[in-house]
């Protein structure tokens, strides 16, 4: 792995590029390579129909430690930052959404409780990397009734920012139940995600002016990129 990353980083460098790595757990969407059942916040199946194993505290501790270990490996491999995936119906989003989290412990029920596990993961990642090493999160309203909305994404980012845990926010949209919004089809207008991503970006009030990335056909009909809207914050 280290040899492959070294070649990739070497190929990027002449172009002024830096490589960030996304840290991700599929949750109920895919099982482990050994064929065992997937893990999730609750025993609620995803689009695959497979009923996952509700995570015990020991499982959660293992996942937190694994995120931190993955971040340390990213540093050692020479990548320039990490992004923690809290969106698109993957594991951390399972805990965030009331639609996929029917636990009865401190990780469910209230908004505060449903954000607890993602925050613990980000804390562990931040503690695992050197000072100044960029850590960010991807968030996305899932466009599902009763699920993750702009307000919940915003609250997560604000809490992470208040603790000094993140350096950037990556705004997206949708999950596997709203596939058409997530995969940025040509039926969508240019910048169709700006309404939700702009709202999240405006609410993250850091003196550092946290950069954020946005996606969702961010070019006009002629393929020109980088157009701005008046409600946007500085972005990458």
Catalytic residues: 90
17, 64 Cβ separation under 8 angstroms: no
Cα 217 to Cα 187: distance, rounded to the nearest angstrom: 10
Report angle CA 213, 30, 51 to the nearest 5 degrees. Answer: 125
Rounded to the nearest angstrom, the gap between the alpha carbon of residue 69 and the centroid of all alpha carbons in its chain is: 17
Query: Which strands sit side by side in the sheet containing 168-171, from one edge to the other?
Result: 20-23, 81-85, 135-139, 168-171, 212-214
Site of tokens 């994404």: 153
Cα 225 to Cα 7: distance, rounded to the nearest angstrom: 29
Residue 75 CB-half CA count within 13 A: 17
63, 55 Cβ separation under 8 angstroms: yes
Listing DSSP states for 97-137 in one string gives: -TTT----STTSSSHHHHHHHHHHHHHHHHHHS-TT--EEE
Cα 133 to Cα 145: distance, rounded to the nearest angstrom: 37
């Amino acid at each position: 792995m280290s040899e492959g990353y070294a070649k990739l980083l070497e190929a990027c460098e002449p172009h002024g590029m830096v490589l960030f790595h996304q840290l991700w757990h599929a949750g109920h969407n895919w099982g482990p390579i050994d064929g065992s059942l997937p893990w999730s916040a609750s025993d609620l199946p995803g689009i695959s129909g497979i009923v996952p194993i509700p995570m015990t505290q020991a499982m959660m501790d293992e996942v937190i430690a694994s995120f931190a270990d993955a971040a340390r490996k990213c540093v050692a491999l020479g990548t320039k930052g990490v992004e923690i995936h809290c969106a698109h119906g993957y594991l951390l989003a399972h805990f965030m959404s009331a639609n996929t989290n029917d636990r009865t412990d401190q990780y469910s029920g209230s908004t505060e409780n449903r954000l607890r596990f993602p925050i613990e993961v980000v804390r562990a990642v931040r503690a695992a990397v050197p000072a100044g090493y960029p850590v960010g999160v991807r968030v996305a309203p899932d466009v599902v009734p009763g699920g993750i909305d702009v307000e919940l994404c915003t609250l997560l980012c604000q809490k992470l920012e208040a603790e000094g845990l993140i350096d950037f926010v990556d705004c997206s949209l949708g999950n596997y139940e709203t596939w058409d919004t997530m995969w940025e089809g040509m039926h969508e207008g240019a910048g169709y995600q700006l309404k939700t991503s702009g709202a999240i970006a405006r609410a993250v009030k850091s003196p550092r002016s946290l950069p954020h990335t946005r996606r969702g056909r961010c070019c006009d009909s002629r393929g020109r990129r980088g157009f701005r809207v008046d409600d946007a914050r500085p972005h990458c």
